[in-house]
Structure formats: structure tokens, C-alpha cells
Amino acid sequence: MANSDIRTHFAGRPVPVIFSDLDGTLLETHSYSFESSRLAIQSVLRRGIPLIFCSSKTRLEQEFIQRRLGFRAPFITENGGAIYIPQNFFEVEIDFPHRTASGYHIIELGVPYAEVRQAVVDIRNRLGLKLLGYGDLPLTEICMMTGLEPPAVGRAARREYSESLHPRFVTAEELNLVQQHLKEYGLRGTLRERFFIISGANTDKGRAVAILSEIFRKAYGRITTYGLGDGSNDIPLLSAVEHPILVQKPDKSWESMNIPGLLRMEGVGPIGWEAAIRKKLGI
């Protein structure tokens, strides 16, 4: 739907724009399925509401999910490492530094993967720790660790702005030591369910959401932003939107966070996602 058509469709009302985390939010934590949220997703897309993925997942992973759902839209990769905007998606100029490649305008906010990898190697050698990530492990071993099929692991391994280390090889105390050394390289680590994710210290989802929201405002005029997440790395995302929504974790608890106006939605992952969309957007 063209930008002008969307403005007409919403008849002067603010255009809703949804920013959503994936793993544990739109997707089920262990199976990565979106079946529980499929109907709400389809309702969102039918109404021309932009659905923006904002995740630790790579470009290839997010493209794959978009293809399965049958739509194209901007998306935010690797916890805010970059914003990918399909060419011709917006009918306005993009006023942020970007490059154009592979059919996208790419706003790069993170540290390039090669620099992240070099820091990992340096710290590993300095501390004598077994810091092993996607760049070190064979495909078969990553498949066993994650339960993913080889094609999915291949998409996850094509990192551009972050590295994922498997924490089973080091202790919590050693990870804290690694965190201190990462600061020397302008990097930081975030512990997630399966991996310790290393990215730029100034890279977060909130900065990327703020930039993309500004572009949407230029293209659509008035917008209303919604954000959905489940974990601590979603705090910047939820802090950057007008309507922050937190879904439950697999144990039916909510991540501890203090964000004004936060809606704690009952329902684990995609079940909570669907309930939140229907409650907030009435669809």
C-alpha cells in the first residue's frame, strides 16, 4: 500500500506502527513458531498497519520470516545494529546516513562483525577463556545446541553487527570479566536464554526505533507507535514507543522493568502478543 493510500485509509487518524521483538514475543521461545499469533498478524497486515520486526535476529532470519508471512517492511536487526528499509517502501527521502545494497536502504548503527570478532579473539587470548561463538563452532554443533535445522542455523550465523557466544563454556564470573574487557573495545554483552550476545556499546533497539519512527512520521504524518517485547533487552524498544507492551515469559512471569505506561499482558509469548494486538488495536 502506497504511503498516500495509507494516510487516506486511516482518514486523518494516526497511523499505527507496531515494533515487535521476535523470540519469546511474536515467536514461541523454543519452537520459534508464530502459529499462536498468526491470525492477529494477518489482521494487522490486511489493514495496512506497518509491522516492524526489532530483534536480535539477523537480516537473513528476518527476511525468511517476512517471506513466510507474505509481506515486506523495514526491520531492525541484531538488537539495533542496523535498520533495513526496502527500496521504494517510503515515498520520502531518508534523512539519515545510509547506504543502498541488495534492494535496501541500510542505516548502520552497530559495530561491524569483523571488529566484534577481533575483540572476541583478543579477549579470549588475553584471558585464556573458552569463548566460542558462531564464528568458531561448526554448523552441526550449533544445530545440537539450539535444536535448529541446518538452514536456520546458516541464516543465524550470517551475523553483520554482533556475535553470539555460547555461555556453557564459561562461568558467570568469567562472563562478568569478559564484560569488563569488552568496554575497552566499545562493546557490551547481553545474556539471553541461549547465548551471550556481543554488540556495540551504543547499539540498542530504542535508538533504531526512534530513527525509524521519525522516518514513518515524515512519510505518514501522524503515527502512533506500539512496542511489544518480553525481556530485558527490549527495555530500550519499549521505552521508545508510545504504547509499550510486555508479554509473559514461559514461566508466566513478566521481566522486571519500570517503564511509564507499560501494559503487562497476560499470555506467554505469541499468545500474549495476539491478545495485546486485539486489546490495543481492536482487531
Q: Which residues are catalytic?
A: 21
Q: Output the DSSP codes for 6-51.
A: HHHHTTTSPEEEEEE-TBTTTB-TTT---GGGHHHHHHHHHTT--E
Contacts of 203 (CB under 8 A, 6+ apart): 78, 79, 80, 81, 109, 110, 111, 161, 162
The three cell numbers of residue 37 are 499469533
The three cell numbers of residue 227 are 512496542
CA pair distance 57, 64, nearest whole angstrom: 11
Contacts of 67 (CB under 8 A, 6+ apart): none
